[in-house]
Structure 1
Amino acid sequence: MNKKMVYVNFVEKVQSNSDYYKWGKPSPVGEIEKLLAYFGLDFELSHFINEMHLNNLRKLEYFIDNNASDEQLAYISQITTKGTKIPEPSIESQSSEKVFISMPMNKTLYNDVEDIRNSINEAVKNTNNIPYFLDKDPHNDNISIKMLQEIRDCKFLVAEFSYQNNGVYYEAGYAKALGKTVIFTCSRKHFENIHFDIKQTQFVIWENYDSLKENLKKQIIESNLS
């Protein structure tokens, strides 16, 4: 998908609403800010409406160019071309007992995906929680919309960062923006590659699959999430 065209089409759409884009009516917070929030991204608020919207569009452009998945690009395109509405998280909704597991799923790229999955699966189950893996859930929805909905509804999220997967960074950030507890895990041999923005966060560091299972289980219990 052409990232530049996705961005340009969205810009044309929001700028066509001059009341919102130029004058901030009925509210300065509109489609740009809602889309950033939907993707778990910060946005600027200011009395200088034009400057604020321009800066927020720059944040969106950076996300589209560098971090957005194909599903997320398709979703932005749907907003532009089909008038898809951006869903708003329900603050009052009850969390399920499911724990969203964010990790790479591509067995072709990563030959130990199933070993990591099995260790996380056992750790979560052994704390009386229900692990949820998006790729194991048959559905007929747009996968990006489905993923965001499941994160909104989850009890907490486990983010496995060993392979520096952009999707894991995004999903963990979105969960944090919603106020969800996120447990970060990473193998010791890959920890030096963790982005500096989150490297000071507490991580469950593991040496092998057994230590991943045991250390994650301990962290969940000590976080009062069992």
Structure 2
Amino acid sequence: MVGQLDDREKARLTTWMIKQRRSGIERPEIWSYENEIESSIRRPDLTVHSRADELLKYIQKKTPHVGRAFLASDFLPDMFAYTESVDSEELQFLTDYLIGKGWLEESTESTIGLIVTVAGYSRLAELERAATVSSQAFVAMWFDESLQDAWTNGIKPAIENAGYSPIRIDNQEYIGRIDDEIIAEIRRSRFIVADFTQGEDGARGGVYYEAGFAHGLDIPVVFTCNKDSIDDVHFDTSHYNHILWRSPEELRDRLENRIAAVIGDGPLKN
């Protein structure tokens, strides 16, 4: 299967594997997660600034002392992997981007290298603050009485058992936009759970908007759906691996396991 992927798809898959390792999964079992692989190679490319930030973080990680030069030639394979680059031109573009921002400078020593500047360390501190582990998990779902049991005995305890605090904003309907309060809460969250169960009156537009917004911020989204509704899920999300459930208890157990495997235990884990 991997041999059939093009270079860009392989780069996206590499990013998925790196994220798994950062979550504490040293050896991701990719062959048993076919749908996760499918979703990882179909997602949009990382933004240029996100890729540049990853390069800056990698260079700092591999630089033993402040002010020392980083020799890129010694770490090219990892640099390609961490920046989702498929050729040397892309990697050079990202390097030039960081130099242009003033976060890197070229070494003036005889050995060609890159040095993280004071401004670069300021940028790294900014990224570290933004990456502070959040204990919050945002939940996007249909707020209908028929799903109250799924929330109370399924989604909510699954998130809490995994070490996170669930939050949902009830009784809101949005047409073509996301409310400012929802945007703020999604930004504060470590991940979101999006349940696409719907009634006879059709799809819940807010759930699609919120899941899409989180994806745009590179915030992980865990997809769930009652088995009776999965055939009605829109095409743009149907290729993602949904946790399919019949009972709240099944939803709780499967969701808790998925969070542990993909996100990792939260800071509130007992």
Q: TM-score, normalized by length of structure 1?
A: 0.53
| 1:130 equivalent among 146, 152, 165 | 165
Unaligned runs of 5+ in 1: 1-89, 137-142
Partner of 1:160: 195
The within-5 A match list for 1:1-226 is: 93=130, 94=132, 96-105=134-143, 107=144, 111-118=145-152, 119-135=154-170, 144-163=179-198, 164-226=203-265
Structure 2 Cα separation of the partners of residues 97 and 208 of structure 1: 26
Asked if the contact 1:99/1:130 (under 8 Å) is kept, the reply is yes
Letter matched to residue 112 of structure 1: S
Structure 1 Cα separation of the partners of residues 205 and 263 of structure 2: 28
- Displacement of 1:186 in angstroms is 0.3
Asked if the contact 1:159/1:185 (under 8 Å) is kept, the reply is yes
Unaligned runs of 5+ in 2: 1-125, 172-177, 266-270
Structure 2 Cα separation of the partners of residues 181 and 198 of structure 1: 14
SS of the counterpart of 1:135?
coil
> How many aligned positions are there?
129
Asked if the contact 1:157/1:181 (under 8 Å) is kept, the reply is yes
Asked if the contact 2:150/2:247 (under 8 Å) is kept, the reply is no
Structure 1 Cα separation of the partners of residues 151 and 249 of structure 2: 12
Asked if the contact 1:95/1:153 (under 8 Å) is kept, the reply is no
Q: Which moved more, 1:192-201 or 1:165-174?
A: 192-201
Letter matched to residue 197 of structure 1: D
SS of the counterpart of 2:264?
coil
How many percent identity over aligned positions?
29
Deviations along 1:28-58, whole A, 9 cap, x unmatched? xxxxxxxxxxxxxxxxxxxxxxxxxxxxxxx
Root mean square deviation of aligned Cα: 2.3
- Displacement of 1:95 in angstroms is 5.0
- Displacement of 1:113 in angstroms is 2.5
Q: TM-score, normalized by length of structure 2?
A: 0.45
Deviations along 1:98-129, whole A, 9 cap, x unmatched? 00011112x3xxx3221121110010011111
Letter matched to residue 260 of structure 2: I
